């Protein structure tokens, strides 16, 4: 790249940054006539690995920190965990052996950023935040996302660990792949899930979705995953799609999802949950209705897939609902830092 092009690019980014940066400024949560503001901080996350993530977020919330900082710090915990094969470093690769990551972040003022199918960067959630704060865009993908991350000083690394590579080689023995996802890989995934100590013998795909409300009533959310193991190269799930895997509306609340991303995208899942809360549903009712919409639209497919929603309104009320038994979520506030709660679900036994 010529010096002039580099200069023009830097100026563009700089202008965008000053125009769009949240810049750590403390802005008040918008008022809502419908839902009272929470009186204390709280953070919630999907799955059992959300417990450790919540604790990192709580370290920030407890000191009066910003919800956005909290969810970023929390999401980085499973991203760095080598035993977690569905998020960040050590995530299972796609069918061609590439670890590709999806992540998104959003604050209470509709600022959001995301990266999709990014490779070689261990903390996509932090790149997503940079997209939000330092570019005029919302979503960067693939090589462009990697280029931006490197320009921002992120380190390029090999994310495929020997354990994940071995799992991929095992899968290659049959290499059954179907776009509807899951049933062919579930047996293998369940074994892998058990070795990760996941609830319900969870499988080869999971996402950390986090929602936080801070002491000043500001909300933020983060969502990060390596997506479906053995996916087609270039496949992107719901997690980096604002409105699908994550949505936050400071006047109402936030929602996030886990499970087969294609079904969540088809239904704009997290946005739907927030809109249902806007219409007066509790977080629990909203999550259930969003799940039931997926089930009603694709009754056959929904028998063999998992989708779970987790939501919190701005009063700090929490709800969750999943198609299949086994989904859980972690809640952390001033009273309890390590709560893990089984989600309600449509089917009450594990799929088998």
Is the backbone of residue 216 left (phi > 0), alpha (psi -120 to 50) or beta? alpha
By the rule CB under 6 A, 269 interacts with ligand ASP: no
Handedness of CA 184, 324, 211, 240 (dihedral sign): positive
Alpha carbon distance 183, 248 (integer Å) = 32
Smaller CB distance to ligand ASP: residue 56 or 264?
264
Alpha carbon distance 207, 85 (integer Å) = 10
Size of the site for ligand ASP (CB under 6 A): 13
By the rule CB under 6 A, 273 interacts with ligand ASP: no
Q: Hey, which bits of the chain come out as E strands?
A: 42-46, 101-107, 112-118, 139-141, 208-213, 219-225, 246-249, 253-259, 307-313, 318-322, 328-333, 339-342, 344-345
Q: State the binding string over 177-206 for ligand ASP (x if CB under 6 A, else -).
A: ----------------------------xx
By the rule CB under 6 A, 261 interacts with ligand ASP: yes
Smaller CB distance to ligand ASP: residue 86 or 109?
86
SS3 216: coil
C-alpha of 148 from chain center: 20
By the rule CB under 6 A, 45 interacts with ligand ASP: no
Smaller CB distance to ligand ASP: residue 209 or 253?
209
By the rule CB under 6 A, 263 interacts with ligand ASP: no
Q: How far is the CB of 210 from ligand ASP (least distance, A)?
A: 13
Q: State the binding string over 224-243 for ligand ASP (x if CB under 6 A, else -).
A: -x-xx--------xxx----
Alpha carbon distance 76, 74 (integer Å) = 5
Binding segment for ligand ASP among 10-18, 120-128, 143-151, 256-264 (CB under 6 A)?
256-264
By the rule CB under 6 A, 79 interacts with ligand ASP: no
Alpha carbon distance 286, 276 (integer Å) = 5
Q: How far is the CB of 233 from ligand ASP (least distance, A)?
A: 14
CB 210 within 8 A of CB 256: yes
**Cβ within 8 Å of residue 4, ≥6 positions away:** none
By the rule CB under 6 A, 81 interacts with ligand ASP: no
Rg (CA), the chain: 19
Q: How far is the CB of 102 from ligand ASP (least distance, A)?
A: 6
Smaller CB distance to ligand ASP: residue 66 or 85?
85
> Which entry of 100, 207, 224, 225 is annotated as an active-site residue?
207
Give the helix/strand (H/E) hosting 16.
helix 3-20
207 is a catalytic site residue: yes
Residues that bind ligand ASP (CB under 6 A): 205-207, 225, 227-228, 237-239, 258-261
Residues assigned a catalytic role = 207
């Amino acid at each position: 790249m010529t010096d002039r092009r580099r200069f023009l690019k830097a100026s563009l980014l700089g202008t965008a940054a000053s125009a769009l940066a949240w810049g750590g400024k403390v802005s008040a949560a918008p008022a809502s006539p419908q839902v009272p503001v929470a009186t204390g901080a709280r953070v919630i996350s999907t799955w059992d690995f959300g417990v450790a993530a919540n604790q990192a977020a709580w370290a920030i919330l407890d000191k009066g920190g910003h919800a956005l900082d909290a969810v970023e710090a929390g999401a980085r915990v499973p991203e760095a965990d080598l035993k977690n094969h569905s998020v960040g470093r050590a995530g299972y690769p796609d069918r061609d052996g590439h670890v590709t990551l999806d992540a998104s972040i959003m604050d209470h003022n509709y600022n959001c950023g995301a990266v999709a199918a990014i490779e070689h960067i261990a903390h996509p959630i932090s790149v997503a935040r940079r997209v939000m704060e330092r570019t005029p865009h919302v979503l960067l993908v693939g090589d462009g996302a990697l280029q931006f991350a490197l320009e921002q000083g992120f380190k390029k690394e090999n994310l495929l660990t020997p354990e994940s590579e071995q799992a991929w080689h095992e899968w290659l023995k049959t290499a059954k792949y179907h776009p509807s996802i899951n049933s062919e890989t579930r047996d293998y995934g369940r074994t892998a899930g058990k070795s990760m100590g996941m609830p319900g013998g969870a499988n080869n795909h999971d996402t950390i979705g986090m929602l936080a409300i801070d002491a000043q009533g500001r909300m933020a959310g983060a969502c990060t995953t390596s997506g479906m193991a053995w996916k087609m190269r270039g496949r992107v799930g719901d997690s980096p799609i604002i409105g699908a895997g994550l949505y936050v509306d400071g006047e109402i609340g936030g929602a996030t999802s886990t499970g087969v991303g294609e079904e969540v995208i088809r239904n704009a899942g997290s946005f739907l949950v927030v809109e249902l809360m806007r219409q007066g549903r509790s977080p629990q009712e909203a999550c259930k209705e969003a799940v039931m919409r997926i089930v009603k639209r694709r009754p056959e497919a929904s028998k063999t897939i998992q989708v779970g929603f987790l939501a919190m309104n701005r009063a700090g009320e929490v709800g969750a609902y999943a198609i299949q038994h086994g989904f859980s979520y972690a809640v952390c506030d001033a009273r309890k830092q390590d709560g893990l709660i089984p989600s309600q679900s449509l089917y009450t036994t594990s799929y088998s």
